[in-house]
Structure 1
């Protein structure tokens, strides 16, 4: 078996157009976190990579619906998603963004190398075009009547009323979502990746070389390859995304599924200067955690891209999960049929491990599975509380009551077959859990953790130290029997901390605090040991790790779920899927000089990046989103603002000022400021508007 010296683990980049729900957690983020925490406990060299995917049509559609800019959307949801993951203990080494400069540069360079190597095909095709807005329309920008249900606000890719997948050509009376005009077909040029050229490589590497992959992943890939691959466009007509870095590609950006997976590479670059070790050395194990809807992209398209580019390792495994349903119904974000992670964190403070436990216990590893609030309650009450927490709490209480609050000794002269049996069972559970974790069978691994808690409960119930304590005045061996029972139980508690840490990290931390041990005890090599807590050591007072959840609590959650569904459906019926019109762009004015100031063209921009300019105390170098382009502007505001404090700020820009060199940097505009008692303040709109909006 191949030996690996480092691990690179990625979790699918979530779209920054909404919060994450528990289906996302169960699909790839919780499994990947469990795996990474296990690898860290083994002292492996591992990097855990993720970030938000901030380009593509869903972002712009969301912005249109909310009447704000795409940048506003991604800024808002990046923070919500990041904080939700952190609250749930998802322990990324970096959580980046595809809007960051390092990603734009990395993705553009990746495309340019493939372009320079002659690996793309240039093709012209006819696509829908809005003659009023003068833009090509993605499928989601086309609205018409659904041929299935008659909904006259169906999108060009799907009818959200009946759920039917559509193409723009199937719509009756199609019209533009931007202007309501009837779109026309117009030729446009794009760059295609001839995936069929990579079929021999994919068949050898994947179909012949990775038969150990999960059946759902392997089967889907084989079906695609058996059907034959076709050329796929890797560029799109849009102003939101990474500009295609070749001549003659104005108004075109990289296809989001070309751009997004490169985000794993750019985030690793951002994380460590040794990023190439994790992406280029053969002794790296690359593992992608995803949901089943991303299988083709991660197992066929991205590996083909990596192979075409060269100098990159390929994934050793892609353990994709199936989908999680809620209360028997498919999760639907448009209908708000979802349990949002940020809502859960707010409603169940301090109970993050309960959700981690339930989602892992019911994880859709091989088939779609269901989450229900009743099952959530039952697993918490009868498993986490009655089995796991009960054993730990009883052990700690009895230790304080019968052993003076200190770890009692193990008396070898009274050790018997029952003590040996516990050790044997513990060793067997550790071995099974390790094997399951190595093979991405996290449900089975968690079951072994709970089995250890059951072993402890059974042993404690069998020894009955509280009954033996009644013999203390007359039986000189009674204290020794109590000591042995509590000693063994405390060692099991310590093992529960180690074994549960990948799954229930907050709980493992609480156990360590009670036992007064350092985090180093959680290293996986310690699992199975019966000398983890030392004789004579004083331990802290016991705390309840989990508590019962009452019926009213879960009933309220079910009511909330149905109420949100009703509100979402009512809103959809009221608007029938309409979206707010985009901000109309004004034609650019002629370039001016300072003495032509009367001809000034003022526009709103959003600062996306800011940094100090070396040896220039007053200047900041700004990247400003102007709607249709990113501009570099040097501004003399360094004495008043820290770079990190102005990211996301909307500003008024003199848009048609002639470029000028400042400290060797070409500045493409001027930020309009006001002076207030010696301080500079931005002149900006009092509500968010689309970048590029004119100021009149």
Structure 2
């Protein structure tokens, strides 16, 4: 494969509406940083861009919560997030902002090109409008009952309880979050990107050209979207926070955040070029550029379907790969900042990195564990016990132990200098270690090129493990006379060879570990008294990196042991934060529910009589592929067996609910989800802790019995 002339690497722009947790770090930013560091040690032309996403409803909603302005929110969180990344070794070439005037100009120009080329459509539609606040309501300003799981506090774009993607029209009894009133429908016009025009292009480009080199989960999700039929998607919205639509007749309208945010990669590249007196254009317009987007799986549709269509229409290059990660859970549950079930990067830094508690090495410990459990092909789980084990059993006992033993023995047996290597007495163990170093280098390089960072990291640690085994088998310390006098020449030569190879292996480990643990690699360079240039990839596999007779520094511990008490503190902290945030969430929910109940319009018996409720028996249950929250149920209704999708997978195991009797709305219009048609809705009750319970008869009753 021909090496591209240049690389443009992006990591998803994080919302500047609050602190970001380690799940975000593991999903997009850490794998991107690993890849970029590897490319840069290869001396390739690489630009790594990111920045804060500062538009969309998430910002003003957070401003309302904190009693301040949207501008104040982004000015508060942008620098915190940027510093958090730096503290954890994420080394962007630029961390930009979508509030920057350059981004506004870039996004408006992008819109005008598409609009002038008739690549956009103008449609008039009826949208929800809050008469009390005189405002068209964005999806997040509307709440109602979820049609899938009956959660009474679902938003107009998504139910955060079952994870279903929604539209405001699907909500039952919608209300405005601004006034609490029931909104009305009002006509408004918007510009749309007609994705359906580009279905053939996307099918060929993704499902044919990239079916083998993109991750299966990415291709699979794209296929599901394409097979489901692509629809025109609005690129503007009625909102007072965002980038103004730059055409006549668009007063009060801004660019939709999903349209404006990815253009932030381009504006960030422009700003980087301006800062460094470079030309930005080749990075987005030259086919000899490799564009790679690192994202989480919730961003696949935007980066693999929508943004590529935008780029194609605008005349830019298309992404070469989009290595999206799955989600990372925490201690058996989904990470959620609102519920307090998360570990914010800022908290980790304050607890582990900033104090005299390990410093930068603890940043590397987090990088190590998150890479070790990276959700590259399926969801993974962070546990504090796993974090402790990864540090103590691998970083301390394998990697750090090998380096420390090598340096201690080198000072004790070789007077603190790199000993000569005696080729005339080389043995099979020496030869095998040399082969292992070269083989591991080739494996790690191939894995990094293929975005298989977990496997690549394993190979680095495995090489250190082989170093420990080699040292243990050679036992150079046993060749020293007990009286402390110098050993015989043949024995000293064997010691020299052993220590020489161990030191050369240490130098190689510094190079190979650098993309993953940059602070550790620099510490190793300091101990070996070499400049950082030694970390260039061309040096990997070389067993002559440290010159004979060169004096090295005293050993320093690379990692410290993490005690049980420290882990217990973190678990208790997580528990307390969850209890506080959970209680606040419950209190907020109760207030909203009371207001909603008071504001719901009165219904008459005939309205209720339209609902056909029946008792059903679950005869089979299984998880829906690539849908974390959905279960596919076969429900016996007496007169027929139906397939019903229900967003309860986080609350019930499929095997535990077979045979359960449930209450079913049987005359709900069918709805297709994940390519499966759902014919009905299971009624659920939610307790104050957010746990779902079936609404079922007290004793067993015939399937199909009516409920009145």
TM-score, normalising length: structure 2: 0.79
CA distance in 2, matches of 1:359, 1:150: 35
Q: How does 1:179-578 map to 2 (within 5 A)?
A: 179-211=179-211, 212-272=213-273, 273-310=278-315, 312-349=316-353, 350=359, 351-470=362-481, 473=486, 475-576=488-589
Alpha-carbon contact 2:480-2:487 (below 8 Å) kept: no
CA distance in 2, matches of 1:335, 1:555: 20
SS of 2:48's equivalent in the other structure is strand
The Cα of 1:142 is off from its aligned counterpart by 2.1
Paired residue total: 578
Give the match for residue 91 of structure 1: 91
CA distance in 2, matches of 1:347, 1:99: 31
* Cα 1:361/1:149, change in 2 over 3 Å: closer
Alpha-carbon contact 2:7-2:45 (below 8 Å) kept: yes
CA distance in 2, matches of 1:500, 1:408: 24
Residue by residue, what CA displacement relative to the aligned partner does 1:629-649 show, whole Å, maximum 9, x if unpaired? Answer: xxxxxxxxxxxxxxxxxxxxx
CA distance in 2, matches of 1:577, 1:461: 64
CA distance in 1, matches of 2:441, 2:100: 42
Q: Which moved more, 1:148-157 or 1:343-352?
A: 148-157
SS of 1:204's equivalent in the other structure is helix
Does the alignment pair 1:35 with 2:48?
no
Give the match for residue 62 of structure 1: 62
SS of 1:266's equivalent in the other structure is helix
Residue by residue, what CA displacement relative to the aligned partner does 1:145-195 show, whole Å, maximum 9, x if unpaired? Answer: 566787765533455567666543454543322223332110000001111
* Cα 1:172/1:219, change in 2 over 3 Å: closer
Residue by residue, what CA displacement relative to the aligned partner does 1:489-547 show, whole Å, maximum 9, x if unpaired? Answer: 00000000000000000000000000000111101010011111111111111100011
Alpha-carbon contact 2:338-2:581 (below 8 Å) kept: yes
CA distance in 2, matches of 1:77, 1:340: 13
* Cα 1:77/1:473, change in 2 over 3 Å: closer
Give the match for residue 638 of structure 1: none
CA distance in 2, matches of 1:402, 1:347: 40
CA distance in 2, matches of 1:279, 1:549: 45
Alpha-carbon contact 2:38-2:515 (below 8 Å) kept: yes
Alpha-carbon contact 2:479-2:487 (below 8 Å) kept: no
The Cα of 1:296 is off from its aligned counterpart by 0.7
CA distance in 1, matches of 2:511, 2:285: 33
Give the match for residue 79 of structure 2: 79
Give the match for residue 701 of structure 2: none
Alpha-carbon contact 1:142-1:177 (below 8 Å) kept: yes
SS of 1:477's equivalent in the other structure is helix
CA distance in 1, matches of 2:204, 2:558: 50
CA distance in 1, matches of 2:505, 2:151: 61
Residue by residue, what CA displacement relative to the aligned partner does 1:256-301 show, whole Å, maximum 9, x if unpaired? Answer: 1110000000000000141101111111000000000101100010
CA distance in 2, matches of 1:345, 1:144: 38
Alpha-carbon contact 2:511-2:535 (below 8 Å) kept: yes
The Cα of 1:555 is off from its aligned counterpart by 1.1
CA RMSD of aligned residues (A): 1.7
SS of 2:456's equivalent in the other structure is helix
CA distance in 2, matches of 1:201, 1:33: 31
* Cα 1:577/1:441, change in 2 over 3 Å: farther
CA distance in 1, matches of 2:454, 2:178: 47
The Cα of 1:22 is off from its aligned counterpart by 1.0
Q: Which moved more, 1:156-165 or 1:446-455?
A: 156-165
SS of 2:16's equivalent in the other structure is coil
SS of 2:19's equivalent in the other structure is coil
SS of 1:329's equivalent in the other structure is coil
CA distance in 2, matches of 1:243, 1:325: 38
SS of 2:470's equivalent in the other structure is helix
The Cα of 1:475 is off from its aligned counterpart by 2.6
Alpha-carbon contact 1:156-1:167 (below 8 Å) kept: yes
Q: Which moved more, 1:43-52 or 1:224-233?
A: 224-233
CA distance in 2, matches of 1:425, 1:497: 15
CA distance in 2, matches of 1:264, 1:77: 19
Give the match for residue 624 of structure 2: none
Alpha-carbon contact 1:139-1:155 (below 8 Å) kept: yes
CA distance in 1, matches of 2:87, 2:217: 31
* Cα 1:455/1:74, change in 2 over 3 Å: same
SS of 1:296's equivalent in the other structure is helix
Residue by residue, what CA displacement relative to the aligned partner does 1:113-132 show, whole Å, maximum 9, x if unpaired? Answer: 11111111110111111112
Q: Which moved more, 1:1-10 or 1:142-151?
A: 142-151
Q: How does 1:152-167 map to 2 (within 5 A)?
A: 154-158=154-158, 166-167=166-167
* Cα 1:552/1:239, change in 2 over 3 Å: same
Alpha-carbon contact 1:257-1:297 (below 8 Å) kept: yes
* Cα 1:28/1:426, change in 2 over 3 Å: same
CA distance in 2, matches of 1:473, 1:231: 82
CA distance in 1, matches of 2:556, 2:139: 56
SS of 1:470's equivalent in the other structure is coil
Give the match for residue 587 of structure 1: none
* Cα 1:327/1:152, change in 2 over 3 Å: closer
SS of 1:191's equivalent in the other structure is strand
Alpha-carbon contact 1:153-1:578 (below 8 Å) kept: no
CA distance in 2, matches of 1:143, 1:154: 5
